Amino acid sequence: GAGVSQSPSNKVTEKGKDVELRCDPISGHTALYWYRQSLGQGLEFLIYFQGNSAPDKSGLPSDRFSAERTGGSVSTLTIQRTQQEDSAVYLCASSQGDRPDTQYFGPGTRLTVL
Amino acid sequence: AQTVTQSQPEMSVQEAETVTLSCTYDTSENNYYLFWYKQPPSRQMILVIRQEAYKQQNATENRFSVNFQKAAKSFSLKISDSQLGDTAMYFCARSNSGYALNFGKGTSLLVTP
């Protein structure tokens, strides 16, 4: 079946602009995760959605970052007033929702803030 | 913070040979899972192998196997009969009673002809 998909693949934006990154999880997966991968910080957890429960936002680095998941499927990560330090690869993963379980990753969105 | 440590930033191996990537971790949990993910230049994180902490038997997946030493909190990955397509970044990761994965910094593996 289809894996996790993310769009866009690459995004270049100017400092101060808002960006939206999209994630389409594997069909039937109830859990969805966002991670950020940067040279200096490695892979960092950002946010976790599980079914209809309130998301765990404990990894979001600032209030400029937000995410939503509509209808328990597609998720959008929004970064407002982007800064150069936001430049990174943003990875989305999904899983069946068992705890703990195996997460399957999308190809990521490379964000470059000029 | 509970950490995952990969002490080898870079490694190189010749085709058809065997290589072992090291990983140690810290956790206060008794029930947790360990993973090795592979990330080729395409950026796609691919699950290589998974180990449940409560299982004594080491996991194997074709040419990939692990040496899980629970008391030592060690989880190394052995790649046998290395192939050019194994060239990638390899990440060790842990999840416990939570759900988010805690990743190591990665080991860059180069397989040479």
Tens-place pLDDT, residues A4-52: 999 999 999 999 999 999 999 999 898 999 999 998 778 999 999 988 8
- Facing A100 at nearest CB: one of B47, B91, B96: B96
Q: Is a pLDDT exceeding 90 seen at residue B98? A: no
> Do the chains contact at B100 and A33, CB–CB below 8 Å?
yes
If you average pLDDT over residues A92-112, what whole number do you get? Answer: 87
Instruction: Categorize the per-residue pLDDT at B97 as very low, low, confident or very high, splitting at 50, 70 and 90.
Output: low
The answer to whether residues B79 and A84 touch, using CB atoms and an 8 Å cutoff, is no
pLDDT for the residue numbered A48: 92
pLDDT for the residue numbered A52: 83
- What Rg, from alpha-carbon coordinates, does chain A have? 13
pLDDT for the residue numbered A40: 74
Residues on chain B touching A107 (C-beta within 8 angstroms): 42-44
Residues on chain A touching B32 (C-beta within 8 angstroms): 100
Using DSSP, state whether B32 is helix, strand or coil: coil
Closest residue in A to B96 (Cα–Cα): A100
Give the tens place of pLDDT for each residue, B10-69.
999 999 999 999 999 998 888 889 999 999 988 889 999 999 888 889 999 999 999 999
Residues on chain A touching B44 (C-beta within 8 angstroms): 105-108
> Do the chains contact at B45 and A105, CB–CB below 8 Å?
yes
Distance CA(A24)–CA(A27), nearest Å, equals 8
> Which of B75, B53, B52, B71 shows the shortest CA–CA distance to B5?
B75
> Which of B30, B36, B41 shows the shortest CA–CA distance to B67?
B36
Instruction: Categorize the per-residue pLDDT at A66 as very low, low, confident or very high, splitting at 50, 70 and 90.
Output: very high
Closest residue in A to B44 (Cα–Cα): A107
Instruction: Categorize the per-residue pLDDT at B1 as very low, low, confident or very high, splitting at 50, 70 and 90.
Output: low
> Do the chains contact at A108 and B44, CB–CB below 8 Å?
yes
Q: Is a pLDDT exceeding 90 seen at residue B72? A: yes
Closest Cα of chain B to A53: distance in Å?
Answer: 14
Instruction: Categorize the per-residue pLDDT at A61 as very low, low, confident or very high, splitting at 50, 70 and 90.
Output: very high
pLDDT for the residue numbered A49: 92
pLDDT for the residue numbered A111: 97
Please name the amino acid found at residue A97.
G
pLDDT for the residue numbered A109: 97
CA angle B88–B23–B29, rounded 5-degree value? 130
Instruction: Categorize the per-residue pLDDT at B96 as very low, low, confident or very high, splitting at 50, 70 and 90.
Output: low
Distance CA(B42)–CA(B52), nearest Å, equals 28
pLDDT for the residue numbered B108: 96
Contact residues, B window 50-109, toward A, CB-based 8 Å cutoff = 50, 91, 93, 95-106
> Do the chains contact at A42 and B106, CB–CB below 8 Å?
yes
Q: Is a pLDDT exceeding 80 seen at residue A97? A: no
The H or E element containing residue B76 is strand B74-79
Closest Cα of chain A to B20: distance in Å?
Answer: 21
pLDDT for the residue numbered B19: 98
